[in-house]
Structure 1
């Protein structure tokens, strides 16, 4: 079971989370293709591959700060823990419902997001034109790049 910091609110199934969440570790997770900050409520994970994971969704608020958004249950096929964080790098303020991450941790999260998001968001298609170069088409631009 987990709590998640995510910039999008794609998971919206209501659920309950234990009141004492300050001792639960944080991790990076991928939920429905988005890399999120996750607070694990059950580090052992679901007992069955068919069980939903309970999560707390946080949204990115400012630079290294995330704020609680809502609770949800996520199907295991939509949820994957990528990296468990050392407790020294994430500070949770329970009364304000905010999480502050170390800058190094934010940089790792941004790298994970760009690796996972590039394939899904850019959708580049390359076709070869003999003697002319490679034509690269994307949703944003179309350009011809010379091959030397």
Structure 2
């Protein structure tokens, strides 16, 4: 039976051949493709703050942190370029809601879906592409 050092000497050329093989080399084209695929998030900063009409004709305010989910990293640049348009659409939509719609949990989900649909509608009109897979409220405060 061969001892350990003889076994290592026998396996060394095989290990060296495997490590030097082009299969292990990095492929820049594959790395670029990997960066284009997968889900990507665009945080809208700063938070969106707007007023809504509260009971007794007083103003209330809502502060929302919004994250936009895209299908790939390539859409992030598109979302960054159109950030002001997206922000304006969300502010206008939230400002048109009543206190009941802002404070209700069920209405909040409807508002989120409505914001997502409006943003995608604007993006299709501007770029011809529906870039937002999900619009997510990560923080939602109202007073």
Q: TM-score range with shorter-chain normalisation?
A: under 0.3
Higher relative strand content: 1
Structure with the bigger RCO (C-alpha within 8 Å, sep 6+) is 2
Higher relative helix content: 2
Normalising by structure 2, report the TM-score.
0.27
Q: Which has the larger radius of gyration?
A: 2
